[in-house]
Each structure stands twice: as structure tokens, then as C-alpha cells.
Structure 1
């Protein structure tokens, strides 16, 4: 890895197509609003926030050799990310994500990450036997990993000697993919970033607050967890300590990418030497700034 790269971001890098309306919406609503297309995906959202906080992320993902893929690579490079190790497929299209948001939150979303899933372990070649590391010489730096990878590939990462020394930070891509994080819970490896619903899916129960969810995940074997619960609370814990804080109250104008912003801000804060209380507080403030419609810096 180049000397100027601070963290590996592994997972989905795609185009986000987001429709937003100031109106409350329900199934079948047809309302005015704005439709935007921006670089997105869990790994990309994390990398963008890390870049805004002064870090240089290296991306490991799958992007097609199509016009959309070329445009996406250019966008990543312009934002200061290293794209040298991205797997470029000749026959797989660049992935996309589509969401509709109203004044009452996320209405519906579809993640088309089939190319990333089809590429599988090919995206990890630079870490498994390449310039970023190998089983004999594991990468020892921070790694942000998202749950858009297949369960079998996440299982492989959880057990792989090539990741044995990495500071793994893992988040599910969505509640529907939360159970893909179970290998990291069982192995007691990685810091997990989940919301209350995702924590419930991992523990096969329902929680009413972030602290109880964090404690349950730790009891099931997780090494370290951060559990968010919207504007109500967030808890960070390991075997030694559990911290709970309340995020700032803000007017919510967008929600897609809020969890990724929280995770990236927390990673950046710790990289800059913040203690656990400070890192959680900075992450919550960054996420609150993001959902209010501003750029978290």
C-alpha cells in the first residue's frame, strides 16, 4: 500500500440514485421532489467521510469497465481516494442503489450490488497475495468493511490469516444483511457498527435501547460494538466498559448514508487520538450534521 494511504475501505462503491421530497409519503405516493445521482455504497460513503476528515482511503471493490464505472473511478480519484487496486470487470456492470426518502424518513430502497457479489474474492487479491498484504505478511492497519459482500466471503475474512492483524471495522449494508456479520460475532474479531434493528437481528430478539443491545452483542462474543438508535441514544462497548450518549437534536432532512457517516467519523476521531468518549461524541455530532443536510467536518 502507498505510504499516503491511511485505511482500506472494502465493499460497495456504486452510484446512488436518491429521490427526496419534503412531503410525508406512503406506499403509492406521487409527490414533487429532487432526484440526485451521487457516488455511494457503504464503503464509498465511509471513504468520502474519511477523506473529508483528512484521511486517504484505499478502495477494494468491483467496478465495471463501462461508462458509469469510468465516471465513478474519476469521481473517487478527484476526492483523494486510491483506486489502484479496484477490480475492474469486463462483463459485470457498475452497481447501483436507488432510494426514495420523504419527510417521514426512508420510504423504500433497492440495492443492486450483484456485481460486487459476483466478483467475490477477486476484490481481495491485493490483500490475500499482493501489494497490500498476504497470509504470511498480514496487513496491520485499519480496515473498514461493509456487509454487501457475500456471507461466504465475510466468513472467509473473519477466519483469514491475511486479516489477523487488521483493525477491522465492520458494518452491515442494511438490516436485511445484518446476519452476515455473525462470523465476526462468533470469532470475537472486529468492531461492529450496527443500529438497534440490526443488533436485534444478530441476537434474534428485540431491544428497546442501545445499551442493552450492545451488552447482548458482547455477551454473544463480539469483541467491540457500537449500536445506534436514531436520535435517541448510541452505545459503544467492549469487555471492559460501556458508554452511552445522546446525539444532538436536529431537523432530519436526509437519512441515506447517516450510519456510514457515523462510522467514518468515529474511525477518524480515534485515528486522530480521541479517547472513547470523545470519539463517540464526535461521531454523533458528525452524523447529526449529516442528517440535517450539512457536510460533517
Structure 2
């Protein structure tokens, strides 16, 4: 058992099927490439990154009673990620995610089949309130239904919640809980949808961040892809530029960034170093075909950002 803070992650665990195109994608046609099957899911990916950074992690996710879920459970057990309080729904199907990557190994199209998360009962949260409350932070993500996001943040007002917005369509699920968040992490499209503010110029990111801060979010991080990260709190608003790296697979980069933010936050880093550490985690992650780099650790991240 480490001396690091304990973190609860409430979110999705998936089986991911990733297709890599050898040439420029031709839509409405069969493309030549390669396929990889990996264990993923936003919540599970964040939990694995945190565990590899030597944090104690409790993953609250939803399993089916099929072979795919058994595979995910076994993987979590081998990694030392506790899923003891996760939910199993009999007769359901494990959530699946299919990603088609372009020739630059960036996401061209994704398709998620995650109906199992619409079946989560309120008791999944109410039965675990004491568990969530005793940990230092709780990470949420928008594969969860609105009712669950609202319930856990309402019942535990003293917990520091960090939210991963996941995708443009799903991000809107978080609109009603923005005032209860300690950390908000989203990309520029998700930030525009959540705020109603259109970005036309770089200084518009300052307006976005100030909007979320006025709602009550304490720390805001808006990832801008190759253009860096816009971030801010009550003391500063800034844009940090990224180091350009040719990716092997960009899936999981955002999850690694979120894990890095929580690591740095728990360690007491200032805002600039939080972004630096999170970006280091993302840079490491995109250099591996898996959604989580199997060798990521504190030493590797510190060397990357040095």
C-alpha cells in the first residue's frame, strides 16, 4: 500500500477494437490496415494510469456477465486496481468501442456501444457513498448517465470531483453539475458546447475558462490537440504549447492527461506543473498502441518533461 492519496474513479470499462489504416482513408469503401483488440474505457484507462503512477485506486464500473467483462476484471486484478464495489448486470453486454485511425494514427471515426451504462440504478451510488467519501478525490466521466452524475455530486458536496468530458455529444451530460466540480477537463469543442461560447480567436479561450470559473469550477483545463492546453484558476489563465510528437495511437491520450493532472494536484503542484505533468503522460501514451502505456510510471514522466 502506497502513501499516495486514494482516488475513486467512476466510469466506463470497455473492450476496444482499434483499426489502423495504412493509407489515406477512403470513406464508403473497404480500407487496408491492421486491427488491435485492447482493454479500454475512459474510467478504466484513467484508473490504470493512476495505478501505474503508484496511487491506490478504487474503480467503480459496470460489468456484464460475459467473457469480455471477465477479461476486464482479470486485467484489473492483475494491475492491482480494486473493482470490489463495481456493479454486474446480468443479461447485458460489455460495452464496446470501435475506433478507426487515419494514416497519421489519429482518430478518424469512433463508435461506442455502451447501453449497459444506461441501466445503472441509483443504488450503485447510494450504496457506495461512504467508500467514495473516504477517498481524497473522485474522477467522473460522461459515459455515466446524468442521473448518476447529479446524484453523486449532490450527495457528496465535500468531495473534490474531477470530470473528464469524453466527447462532444456526451459532454452536455455534465452541464448541470459544473458548479460542483473541482477540476474540469475537456477539449475545445466540448468546452464550446458546455459554455455556449464560440471560439474564433486564441484569446476566446480566456472567456471560456472565466465562464467555467464563474460557475464554480476551481481549475479548468481545455486541451487543444497539437496547439497545447488552455488552463486557468482564480489566479491565472494561460495557454501552454505542446511538444509535437508523431503518434502511434492517440486513443487514451486524454485519459492519461487527466490521470497526470490528478497526480500533480494530489502532489501539490502548481497549475503550470500540473499541465506539464499531464502533458508528459499524454506524450508517453501516444507512443504505444495500447490506450495506456504499459511502462508509464512517475520516473518515466519526470524524464519526459525534464
Return the TM-score normalized by structure 1.
0.88
Q: Is 2:111 aligned against 1:110?
A: yes
Give yes or no for contact 1:141–1:165 (8 Å, CA) kept in 2: no
Q: Is 2:251 aligned against 1:263?
A: no
Give yes or no for contact 2:125–2:151 (8 Å, CA) kept in 1: no
Aligned to 1:75: 75
Aligned to 2:233: 238
Aligned to 2:153: 158
Structure 1 counterpart of 2:190, from 184, 198, 201:
198
Q: Is 2:181 aligned against 1:180?
A: no
Q: 1:164 offset after TM fit, Å?
A: 1.6
Give yes or no for contact 2:195–2:211 (8 Å, CA) kept in 1: yes
Give yes or no for contact 1:262–1:283 (8 Å, CA) kept in 2: yes
Provide the rounded CA distance (Å) in 1 between the counterparts of 2:42 and 2:89: 20
Give yes or no for contact 1:85–1:126 (8 Å, CA) kept in 2: no
Provide the rounded CA distance (Å) in 2 between the counterparts of 1:114 and 1:66: 15
Give yes or no for contact 1:51–1:80 (8 Å, CA) kept in 2: yes
Which stretch shows the higher mean deviation, 112-121 or 270-279? 270-279
Provide the rounded CA distance (Å) in 1 between the counterparts of 2:5 and 2:217: 28
Q: 1:213 offset after TM fit, Å?
A: 2.8
Provide the rounded CA distance (Å) in 2 between the counterparts of 1:107 and 1:99: 8
Aligned to 1:168: 161
Number of residue pairs aligned between Structure 1 and Structure 2:
287
RMSD: 2.2
Q: 1:24 offset after TM fit, Å?
A: 2.3
Which stretch shows the higher mean deviation, 168-177 or 14-23? 14-23
SS at match of 1:227: strand
Aligned to 1:66: 66
SS at match of 1:231: helix
Give yes or no for contact 2:153–2:180 (8 Å, CA) kept in 1: no
In structure 2, the gaps of 5 or more residues are 301-306
Q: 1:259 offset after TM fit, Å?
A: 0.9
In structure 1, the gaps of 5 or more residues are none
Provide the rounded CA distance (Å) in 1 between the counterparts of 2:160 and 2:255: 17
